[in-house]
Amino acid sequence: MPTSRPVPSLAPSKFLMQVLDRVASSYDQPVLDAPCGFGRNALALASRGYDVIAVDNDVARLKSVEVSGALQSTGSGRIVTLCADLVASRLPFRNSSFSAILCIHYPVQKVIVDLCTALKDGGWLYVETFGGQGQNYLELPKLGEIPEALQGFELVLCKERPVGPPSQRAAVVQLLAQKRGGADRKS
């Protein structure tokens, strides 16, 4: 009997939808969803009229995003997909290219510098790591690592929950931060 892969849920992040008005408040450039997976968050934003650049290293997932985006009839936002490995290569975007950046269910500590550079002043960074099930705590950031990396940001929301053995100092992170303008940055 053949086994089939479970169909991923295309429901967007519940918490992202709760803070979307704030995330989209600086919208005048596209939103980056990196990595986008099967596009659940990119599709939700496009359905609300936002243009989204959806990046992932899995071509099959990107094709799924393209098909789902083509079938989506509401909203006027566009989704552009790009196949790229976030860790192995630098993000192929100019500085200050995005109004908002979403990094959901990914070890953000590996790409935080690139994400911060790609975000415009006044733009929003939304981070939601995966949970602490099994041994995936090995891929999660350390307690305090992400807030520490965001010195040029106002942390509007930052929740960290320790997971795994205490010696690992791993944390599940949910964060919403706004990049300060050049004159507003603290040294």
Q: Is 97's pLDDT higher than 80?
A: yes
pLDDT band at 134, cuts 50/70/90? confident
Mean pLDDT value of segment 138-155? 95
Q: What pLDDT score was predicted for residue 118?
A: 95
Q: CA-CA distances (angstroms) from residue 83 to 1, 62, 99, 136, 173? A: 33, 7, 21, 24, 26
CATH topology of domain 14-180: Rossmann fold (3.40.50)
Mean pLDDT of 90-116: 92
Residue 157 makes CB contacts below 8 A (sequence gap 6+) with 19, 174, 175, 176, 177
**Nearby residues of 149 by Cβ (< 8 Å), 6 or more positions away:** 109, 112, 113, 116
Residue from 52, 144, 66, 172 nearest 101 by CA: 52
